Amino acid sequence: MDIEELKVATERLKNFPRKKKFLVAIDSDGCVFDSMNPKQIVVFHPKIMEFHQLWSIESYIREVAEFVNLFSRTRGCNRFIALQHIYRFLTEIPEIK
């Protein structure tokens, strides 16, 4: 979503006609729809590698990031805390040192 689309979406939401005094919303990130796996694998992992220029260790990044964000007890934690876990795990891999 680019900035113009975001502006349009924001304006539509502001102008949405209210029918009730309350709003019921469902956080569907991994609860209702399996959206966490594709979001992590397709979006976040490449962005980590791109931002920090870590393409040379892509397989390690993906393995560790998938574990931290999808399969460990830290699943769903704040993404900045997840990054700390990822970097800590990466320091424990002898092939990277």
Q: Provide the residue-wise pLDDT of the chain in tens; the chain has 97 residues.
A: 678 888 998 999 899 898 999 888 877 666 677 788 888 999 999 999 999 999 999 999 999 999 999 999 998 899 999 999 999 999 999 999 7
Identify the CA nearest to 69 among candidates 27, 96, 39.
39
Give the number of domains in the chain: 1
Residue 36 domain boundaries: 3-96
Structure tokens at 38: 């594709």
Q: What is the signed CA dihedral for 59, 63, 66, 69, rounded to 10 degrees?
A: -110
pTM for this model (two decimals) = 0.67
The distance in angstroms from the start CA to the end CA of the chain is 38
